[in-house]
Amino acid sequence: AQSVTQLGSHVSVSEGALVLLRCNYSSSVPPYLFWYVQYPNQGLQLLLKYTSAATLVKGINGFEAEFKKSETSFHLTKPSAHMSDAAEYFCAVSGSEGRRALTFGSGTRLQVQP
Amino acid sequence: NAGVMQNPRHLVRRRGQEARLRCSPMKGHSHVYWYRQLPEEGLKFMVYLQKENIIDESGMPKERFSAEFPKEGPSILRIQQVVRGDSAAYFCASSVGQGSGNTIYFGEGSWLTVV
């Protein structure tokens, strides 16, 4: 079965510091991978997605993620954190075993300290 | 996520009542997904529907929960005889096609509180 593991339920960084949110996936076939962001009491907004076109994927708000098949990872990074980046981030996978629906990780809450 | 419309945004029900959550997908989208998010948890898949068809309901509780997506009108997630454990945020999402790489767009969610 397809699954996603997000290491670290809470990550705290200083404003201007590097953001690194970890995601490892399990899939029986080459997966489609997604990162979503959720602000308090709101829905999910797509940050970026990997669909095998390129291993380094650039998204909105300065975020990017690199697909590493050998490590089964799809970590999310941003060179310099901004206060407005504070939110919950979800990694998701689809495509394995014919599953079109997304399977989400448990989420990582990012705090940005001034 | 603009375009996927959910209502009501907030719903309060007493134990034993019925809750109906509605979702209008983005224009041109014929695939709808429902997810549930319990407090402090991630999103759990419930059901995937196309017009007039349930494609995957592997995440739906066996009792009290049902979903439909009629030929005309919004998708409806129905919870009968609600219990306190049903209190959660319910998110609807839609996509244009059935390919796994298609982007799935989410609505703002419906927050159900059972008192």
> What's the pLDDT at B1?
44
Which residues of B, range 20-79, sit inside 8 Å of A by Cβ? 31, 33, 35, 41-45, 48, 55-56, 59
> In terms of pLDDT, which residue wins out, B9 or A95?
B9
From CA B90, how far away is CA B113, in angstroms rounded? 11
Instruction: Quote the pLDDT of residue B96.
Output: 85
Q: Which of A36, A52, A101 sits opposite B45 (nearest CB)?
A: A101
Specify the residue for token string 């993620």. A65
Q: In whole numbers, what is the pLDDT of chain A averaged over residues?
A: 90
CB contact under 8 A, A46 and B4: no
Q: Are strands B110-114 and B53-56 parallel, antiparallel or unpaired?
A: unpaired
What pLDDT is recorded for position A40? 85
Give the residues across from A109 on adjacent strands: A10, A88
Distance CA A68, CA A65 (A): 10
Q: How confident is the model at residue A54 (pLDDT cuts 50, 70, 90)?
A: confident
Residue B100, token pair as written in the block: 């796994």
Among the listed residues B49, B45, B42, the one whose alpha carbon sits nearest the alpha carbon of residue A107: B42
Q: Are A65 and A57 in contact (CB under 8 A)?
A: yes
**Shortest CB distance from A95 goes to which of B44, B55, B100?**
B100
Could you read off the pLDDT of B62-107 as tens digits, one per residue? 999 999 999 999 999 999 999 999 999 999 999 887 665 678 899 9
Pairwise CA distance, residues B107 & B21, whole Å: 12
pLDDT score of B104: 86
C-alpha–C-alpha distance, residues B47 and B59, integer Å = 6
Give me the pLDDT at residue A30, please. 72
Tens of pLDDT, residue by residue over A5-40, are 999 999 999 999 999 999 999 877 778 899 999 998
Chain-chain contact of B48 with A101 (C-beta, under 8 angstroms): yes
pLDDT at A97 over 60: no
Instruction: Name the average pLDDT for chain B.
Output: 91
A99 near B CB under 8 A? yes
Which CA distances in Å does A19 have to A5, A8, A61, B25? 18, 13, 12, 33
- Tokens coding B9: 């945004």
Instruction: Report the residue of chain A nearest B33, measured CA to CA.
Output: A101
Q: How confident is the model at residue A101 (pLDDT cuts 50, 70, 90)?
A: confident
Highest-pLDDT range among A9-23, A89-103, B30-44: A9-23
Q: What is the pLDDT of residue B2?
A: 53
Residues in chain A with CB shorter than 8 Å from the CB of B113 are none
Q: In sequence order, what are the residues at sequence separation of 6 or more whose Cβ sits closer than 8 angstroms to the Cβ of residue B52?
A: B69, B70, B71
Residue contact A100–B101, C-beta within 8 A: no
Pairs of CB atoms within 8 A across A/B: 68
